Amino acid sequence: MTPTTPARKALVALAATTALLGAAALPAAAAPAPVSHSGFGYGDSARLGYQKDVTVRVLKGVFERGDTKVVDRFVRPDYIQHNPLAPDGAETLKNLGTAIHAQFPDAVYGVKRVISEGDLVLVHSNVVMTPGTKGQAVVDIFRFQGGKIAEHWDVGQNVPETTANGNDMFSTESWPRTGQPGPGWLTAYNKKLVTKAFDQLIVKKDLSALDRYWGPEYHQHNPNIADGVAGAKAGLGGYFQQFPQLAVSPKRVVAEGDLVAVHSHYVNAPGERGQAIVDLFRVRGGKIVEHWDVIQDVPATSANDNTMF
């Protein structure tokens, strides 16, 4: 879900660095939306675990240590990038990673939660380039091919000083308070539930979805929306009234256990470039009980030809 205010602009240095973790994607025009990656099944825990481990190693290696060897080992040389601030190529990733580490030697890629489904890995992080600052909320999505990173999308926004709901952008408030995804056998059910709920509430702008799919103890992490179902109704109701021609196009859904993420293109009015948004939901007992999101404006120009989607 999205607030009524525009997304905060990402730090250029951080966004450019995050950008480089992409890989050999199909051209954007060839990729249907939303993209399903469920054909791999939910029982391949070893492969999913490997993908998550590799992703975190690459993120921390590049951003925290300027490690070029981790790129050679785990990132395909022919990758295509979807972050608009960076061109394609693993060599670019290595060069920029080295430069960013030299400029921000104390940078921390604070990974909060990681989920994997099929060939996709999604990472929700608090990235702090300079100690003592709140940094950015960042969601990275990676596609694997042949055991290596083969594509990358990301969204980033600055972390505000305060929030309308009293929750920060990263904590887990619903019980149990863990960043780990729930059991894999829940994935298919929870993905189907969130997909239906998202379509009814966000795509079709039907606020009654909140009564059907959301739990009474709903925790909100969007900094501009109040806590609870009532806060969501007020915030989204105002947003839908302000932008009656809002069009939301889900591009991909990534789920594991009780966590389900939807990567979408929000366009408030015809002719606008819109925003790239990742909404991350937690499902407990058949109801949505928690929500995080990261929002970034789609820029007018890009260093690559792949779009943000």
pLDDT digits (tens, 9 = 90+) for 79-93: 889 999 999 989 888
Q: What is the pLDDT of residues 258-306, one digit of tens each?
A: 999 999 999 999 999 999 999 999 999 999 999 999 999 999 999 999 9
What CA–CA distance (Å, rounded) separates 144 from 40?
A: 12
Q: Model-level pTM?
A: 0.87
Cα→Cα distances 11→17, 40, 162, Å: 10, 36, 19
Look up tokens 């240590």; give the residue. 65
Question: The tokens of 69 are what?
Answer: 């060897």
Q: What is the mean pLDDT of the segment spanning 6-32?
A: 35
Look up tokens 């799919």; give the residue. 213
Q: In what order do the strands lie in the sheet with 287-297?
A: 214-220, 287-297, 275-284, 259-267, 247-256
Give 237-241 contacts, CB < 8 A, sequence gap 24+: 237/207, 238/4, 239/2, 239/3, 239/4, 240/205, 240/207
Q: Give the three-state DSSP class for 93.
A: helix
What CA–CA distance (Å, rounded) separates 177 from 180?
A: 9
Contact predicate 145/208, CB 8 Å: no
Q: Give the three-state DSSP class for 294.
A: strand
| Whole-number average pLDDT of the chain | 88
Cα→Cα distances 61→108, 144, 145, Å: 10, 18, 20
